[in-house]
Chains A and B, each alone.
Chain A
Amino acid sequence: MSAVVINGLAVTYKRPGRGLRQETFKAVDDVSFTIEPGRTLGLAGESGSGKSSVARALMRVVEPSGGSVLIGGQEVTKLRGGDLRKFRRHMQMVFQDPYDSLNPRLTAGDNIAEALTAAGVSRPDHTSRTRELLDRVGLPAAFARRYPHQISGGQRQRVSIARALAVGPQVLVCDEAVSALDVSVRAQILNLLKDLQDADGLAYLFISHDMSTLRFMADDIAIMRGGRIVEHGPSADVFARPEHPYTRELIAAIPEPGAGRRRRRTAEEVR
């Protein structure tokens, strides 16, 4: 069974205004994809393309205005109250800036313990489970007592991954999860995410604007623009034979070290 099946997803935001002046804005329009367990779908696009709105609709942070979302075979767009809370155990999210997404007034351990409470783990087991989770993300147990401001950015992102794993999810949504990290730390986190996926068979929705990171992470790629998917296929195909001009533009825009100097436009071209 597929971990995620999305069909005709739409997200509409209301623009400010009342009555007849009320306008709506379609951020996501007829988006469909599936993710199998243990696989990664890479979602690329620029700011405003709707990729984060897709993630938020999956998580039910915003209400989809149309379409269906099946997580582990269960329709989640109609869930409410207790059922919605239960569903969130199957699906977790890792955000771009771990400094904003961790509670600064709680230690790393307490941040994780909050998620354990939500997962229904009994209190006496919290300490041992927290230690286990920190170990899985490669942090020493002593980190449980530190506050978010006392640890580095990479370590904070490890803590937020540990917190996401605390509820035992089947699907992990990573929204620009490594974009804010230093280059040397980014590789560690990408490797960690791959290892966790291999061990648990997690399905990833990996959102990034960086095509070279997506090439490394994703099995399949979907390119979004203006709320729609403009290209969708196996990663190897999309990179070898990008079909949509926008995909080609995204790939071409990445300056790779060693690719030499950018082509400087001649004076005639400038005018």
Chain B
Amino acid sequence: MTALLEVDDLTVGFERDGTRSAAVRGVSFEVAAGERVGIVGESGSGKSVTAQAVMRLLPLSAEVGGAVRFAGDDVLGYDAKRLAGWRGSDIAMVFQDPMSSLNPLLRIGTQLTEGLRRHRGLSKPAAREEAARLLRTVGIADAERRLRDYPHSFSGGMRQRVCIAIAAACTPKLIIADEPTTALDVTVQAQVLDLMDELTDRHGTATVLISHDLGVVSSFCDRILIMYAGRVVEAGPADDIIARPAHPYTRALLDSIPRLHGELPRRLPAIPGSPPFGTVPADRCSFADRCPRVQDVCRTNDPALEPTATGRPAACFFPLDSVPVEVR
């Protein structure tokens, strides 16, 4: 069976004030039907740009290269009409800030029924009934009445539930969620993740979850891609990556998170420096300046994503071996 989503050597460049910067530099991955894939990265790693390129949401000024195929079709070749039919029915997106992704001037009901009428061809009353049912599935009580409310009368967590209800309305085959819980309180975050679990389980929806939080991603996803400076630097099953990371960056990320259990270090093992921003030199490893395992070759050559001793691919000349990380 072919993958639902295939991203092949995707590149995205932006030109600003005459200088070109590469936001995504050759990203490839696949998502199978019903699979949950996590993309982890810090700001500037290209994770959100990758998602926007897949959804075709980038501005015209962006130069997009490579291929994106959805169920075998070339997404980058879709015309406007095809795009409008595809988004919402086959693929949907949930954004970080539910306030700015909902239209503040329209009632929730209008925003929920829009997709239902357009993609599922429901009549007005039928769409309204379905919208109320959707609101109830995402745990909003008194749904019929709440359909008449505007976004501002919902709390942040409620708004994100509404966004998820809109995304799930036409039971798409793939939902891309870009930092869906980052703006929410931790207990609300747990509820929203529960909800996404439920909905995707019930309909076998594939999910791409994008986050900077390894904890959130590893608790939800089957497979994880770690991105750094526009590239995938490590990929594999979630549990394996956490238990024995191959790339020094992944390891350093895991180490720098304060833990709830175990001995308390006096200082956290921090990664020196900050993630690169803007132009990244192409002929060297982008993590070299922050890497504890750096050698001369890292500054003159750019490592490719290749299989390592851990059995998973990592873009590193000196990957960590397969000795499991001690559990802290």
Which of B42, B185, B194 makes the CB contact (< 8 A) with A183? Answer: B42
Interface 1/0 per residue, A244-271 and B, CB below 8 Å: 0000011111111111111011000010
CA distance A52 to B152 in the complex (A): 22
Known: A182-B43, A265-B194. A259 touches B219 (CB 8 A): yes
Which of A47, A183, A210, A261 has the largest number of chain B CB atoms within 10 A?
A183
Q: Let me know if B277 is at the binding interface, CB within 8 A.
A: yes
Q: Is the CB of B198 within 8 A of A187?
A: no
Q: Which of A20-28, A113-121, A126-134, A212-220 contacts B (4 or more CB under 8 A)?
A: A212-220
Q: Is the CB of A186 within 8 A of B187?
A: no
Which of A212, A257, A264 makes the CB contact (< 8 A) with B197? Answer: A264
Interface 1/0 per residue, B257-271 and A, CB below 8 Å: 111110011111111
Q: Let me know if A191 is at the binding interface, CB within 8 A.
A: yes
Which residues of chain B from 123 to 181 have any CB-CB distance to chain A below 8 Å in the complex? 156
Q: Is the CB of B187 within 8 A of A239?
A: no
Interface 1/0 per residue, A141-183 and B, CB below 8 Å: 0000000000011110000000000000000000000000011
Known: A257-B242, A262-B220, A265-B198. A46 touches B260 (CB 8 A): no
Q: Let me know if B252 is at the binding interface, CB within 8 A.
A: yes
Q: Is the CB of A212 within 8 A of B218?
A: no
Q: Let me know if B105 is at the binding interface, CB within 8 A.
A: no
CA distance A180 to B243 in the complex (A): 27
Q: Which of B1-9, B23-31, B91-99, B209-217 contacts A (4 or more CB under 8 A)?
A: B209-217
User: Closest Cβ of chain A: how far from B243's Cβ, in Å?
Assistant: 7
Which of A155, A209, A257 makes the CB contact (< 8 A) with B218? Answer: A257
Which of B193, B252, B267, B274 makes the CB contact (< 8 A) with A152? Answer: B274
CA distance A257 to B38 in the complex (A): 13
CA distance A106 to B202 in the complex (A): 54
CA distance A153 to B274 in the complex (A): 9
User: Closest Cβ of chain A: how far from B113's Cβ, in Å?
Assistant: 24
Residues of B within 8 A of A251 (CB): 260
| Tier of interface size on chain A | 35 or more
Q: Let me know if A79 is at the binding interface, CB within 8 A.
A: no
Q: Let me know if A194 is at the binding interface, CB within 8 A.
A: yes
Instruction: Closest A residue to B254 by CB, please name it.
Output: A257
User: Closest Cβ of chain B: how far from A137's Cβ, in Å?
Assistant: 14
Q: Let me know if A184 is at the binding interface, CB within 8 A.
A: yes
CA distance A60 to B93 in the complex (A): 43
Main secondary structure of the interface of A (DSSP, over half): helix
Q: Let me know if A190 is at the binding interface, CB within 8 A.
A: yes
CA distance A251 to B202 in the complex (A): 28
Q: Is the CB of A187 within 8 A of B42?
A: no
Residues of B within 8 A of A191 (CB): 267-268, 270
Interface 1/0 per residue, B198-214 and A, CB below 8 Å: 10011000000000111
CA distance A193 to B292 in the complex (A): 23
Q: Let me know if A211 is at the binding interface, CB within 8 A.
A: yes
CA distance A194 to B327 in the complex (A): 25
Instruction: Closest A residue to B40 by CB, please name it.
Output: A183
Q: Let me know if B21 is at the binding interface, CB within 8 A.
A: no
Q: Is the CB of A212 within 8 A of B267?
A: no
Instruction: Closest B residue to A46 by CB, please name it.
Output: B185
* A residues at B contact (CB < 8 Å): 46-47, 152-155, 182-188, 190-191, 194, 209-213, 215-216, 239, 249-262, 264-265, 270
A-B CB proximity, top 10 nearest: A187-B270, A216-B258, A187-B256, A255-B219, A187-B268, A255-B215, A182-B42, A184-B271, A46-B185, A253-B186
The 29 listed contacts between A and B (C-beta, < 8 Å) are A153-B43, A182-B212, A182-B274, A182-B275, A183-B253, A183-B256, A183-B257, A184-B42, A184-B252, A184-B270, A185-B271, A185-B274, A187-B270, A187-B271, A188-B272, A191-B267, A211-B260, A212-B258, A212-B260, A215-B258, A215-B260, A252-B190, A254-B186, A255-B193, A255-B216, A257-B215, A257-B218, A260-B239, A262-B193
15 additional A-B pairs beyond A154-B274, A258-B327, beta carbons within 8 Å, are A46-B185, A46-B186, A184-B253, A184-B256, A187-B270, A194-B267, A216-B258, A239-B260, A253-B189, A254-B186, A255-B193, A259-B219, A261-B219, A261-B238, A270-B202
